[in-house]
Amino acid sequence: MAAVIVHAGAYDIPDHEADPLREGCKKAAQEAHKALTEGKSAVDAGKMPYSRCPLVTSVELAVCVLEDHPLMDAGHGSVLNAAGEVEMDAIITDGSSLNFGSVAGVRNISHPISLARMVMDDTPHVMLIGVGANLFAKEKGVPEVDPDELVTAEAKEAYQTFKQYSSVVDNVFNIDNHLGHDTVGAVAIDLCGNIAAGTSTGGISLKRVGRVGDCPLIGCGAIADSGVGGISCTGHGESIAKVLLAQRSLSTLQAKNGIDAEGALSESLGYMLDRVGGRGGAIMVTKEGCVARHYTTKGMAWASVSKTGQLDSGI
Angle formed by the axes of helices 245-255 and 261-276, nearest 10°: 130
Contacts of 287 (CB under 8 A, 6+ apart): 189, 193, 195, 226, 227, 228, 229
Identify the CA nearest to 75 among candidates 218, 211, 237, 185: 185
The residues carrying an active-site annotation are: 183
Q: Which long-range contacts (CB under 8 A, 24 or more apart) does 268-274 make?
A: 268/243, 269/245, 269/294, 269/295, 269/296, 270/296, 271/243, 272/235, 272/239, 272/240, 272/242, 272/243, 272/245, 272/296
For residues 244 and 222, what is the distance between their CA atoms, to the nearest angstrom?
10
Cβ atoms of residues 87 and 202 within 8 Å: yes
Q: Give the DSSP per-residue string, 177-218.
A: T--S---EEEEEE-TTS-EEEEEEE---TTPPTT---STTSB
